[in-house]
Structure 1
Amino acid sequence: MLRQKRNNKRTIVIAILLVCFSCGYFYTWKDALMREIAYPLQYDYMVRYYSYENHVHPALVAAVILAESKFREDASSKRGANGLMQIMPETGTWIAEQMGMKDFTPDKLRDVRTNVKMGTWYLAYLLKEFDGNQVLALAAYNAGRGHVDSWISKYGWKKDFSEIEKIPFSETREYVKVVLQNEEQYKKLYDF
């Protein structure tokens, strides 16, 4: 009987040690799993290059791409947006004009490099347009500049607006929240 109690205690101790080891093992791999599964960073070089070129934090660009396409280069929306950063053809044409791209056609939005280059430029443009306010810039990226301009006018929002819950479109509210959460995770998980 005494021997059986010792064996039971030994078994419990071994089980506890295995659980602790497993938890510690998982903890050391947690960030790697998060990077691989929840917050991938494909096209890392392009994201970093165009982010630095346009003075936008690469974590924000990666966060937009994750929200828009989950890094699927063939992504397209029912409304016609294309590519990693889900740019509408009309917006792409306007961006190309602003960037001085002479040979642009909407089909080029399917090219990863062109899409990331143009989407990052547009995000930088929106950040400048709204004095660095990420909430307003992201709302404009999702809902369009015209909507955000009208909300600013209608509701008297100031340049330091941060009340995401007051954004009238539920899709845009959720989009802004998700992108900002994604950005925080990208900052924690990657060396930007």
Structure 2
Amino acid sequence: MKFFRKKRTFAFLLVGFVIFLFLSSGALGRMMYPIHYQEEIRENAARYELDPFLIAAIIRVESNYEKDIESKKGAYGLMQLMPDTSSWIIETGQFSPSYGSALDNPAVSIQLGSWYLNWLHKQFQGNPYAAIAGYNAGQGNVIKWLQSKEWDGTLENAAMIPFGETRHYVQRVVYYQKRYEQLYGDHWNKK
């Protein structure tokens, strides 16, 4: 009986050690927070000078990597672009007109959304929080909030953002961006 108890204790300790190694390696975290379309994200992050984890975080919040999803308001694709916004991006960014009917294509959605995010970064002089808010609420709303001092454009004062949806959106995107950096930073930098 003592022999079986020792074996069971040893097996329990061994399993616990393996679980500890698994958890500390980040593998479990990467399973819980997967990043799909990594090549497309990396490529567009480099092309548009963006943090790849920011693109991944926006996709996570917008569509949770579901490429065929459409919002109640009509936004479509991985990066949930509104029809008018995607048409404007295609025209202004001089993309192929065929992109308009290909928003369900992950590569197209990621490229258009990344271009737009880069454009927003430039409009807000590199302020990432204003760019994230603009991606959700529209550039005009964010400009109005900043000019009227309703919001100062900082993460610390995100609670001042007048739209509750946008306030939570900014917080969620930043959370996922940091989480992805923790889980994938070293892993992605080795490639």
Q: TM-score range by the shorter chain?
A: 0.7 to 0.9
| Contact 2:151-2:158 within 8 A present in 1 as well | no
2:95 match: secondary structure: coil
The number of aligned residues is 184
Q: Percent identity?
A: 33
Which residue in the other structure is 1:24 paired with?
17
Q: In structure 2, how many angstroms separate the alpha carbons of the residues matched to 1:24 and 1:68?
A: 37
Written as runs of structure 1 = structure 2, the 5 A alignment for 1:43-58 is: 43-58=37-52
Is residue 2:122 matched to residue 1:125?
A: no
Structure 2 residue aligned with 1:168: 162
Asked if 2 retains the 8 angstrom alpha-carbon contact of 1:152 and 1:158, the reply is yes
TM-score normalised according to structure 2 size: 0.86
Summarize the Cα distance change of 1:166–1:19 in structure 2 as closer, same or farther, 3 Å threshold.
farther
Alignment of 1:126-145 (within 5 A): 126-145=120-139
For residues 21-72 of structure 1, give each alpha carbon's deviation from its aligned partner in whole angstroms, at most 9, with x where no partner exists: 4343223223222212x31111111000011000001011001101111111
- Structure 1 vs Structure 2 CA RMSD: 2.3
3-state DSSP of counterpart to 2:97: coil
The structure that has the greater radius of gyration is: 1
Gap change, CA 1:125 and 1:11, over 3 Å in 2: same
* One-letter amino acid matched to 1:174: H
C-alpha distance in 2, partners of 1:75/1:57?
Answer: 24
Between 99-108 and 165-174, report the one with greater CA deviation: 99-108
Runs of 5+ consecutive residues of structure 2 not aligned to the other structure: none
TM, length-normalised to structure 1: 0.85
Q: Select the residue among 101, 105, 120 that pairs with 1:107.
A: 101
Cα drift, residue 113 of structure 1: 1.2
Q: Which residue in the other structure is 1:181 paired with?
A: 175
Structure 1 counterpart of 2:73: 79
Equivalent in the alignment of 1:34 = 29
CA contact (8 A) 1:93 1:104 kept: no
Distance 1:156 1:102, change over 3 A: same
Q: Unpaired segments of 5 or more residues in structure 1?
A: none
Indicate conservation of the 8 Å contact 1:167/1:173, yes or no: yes
Once the 2 structures are TM-superposed, how far is the Cα of residue 104 of structure 1 from its aligned partner?
A: 4.0
- CA distance in 2: counterparts of 1:162 and 1:137, whole angstroms: 15
Larger RCO: 1 or 2 (CA < 8 Å, sep 6+): 1
Matched, 1:148 2:162: no
Letter in structure 2 aligned against 1:24: F
Distance 2:156 2:124 in 1: 12
Alpha-carbon spacing, 1:12–1:143, altered in 2? closer, same or farther (3 Å): farther
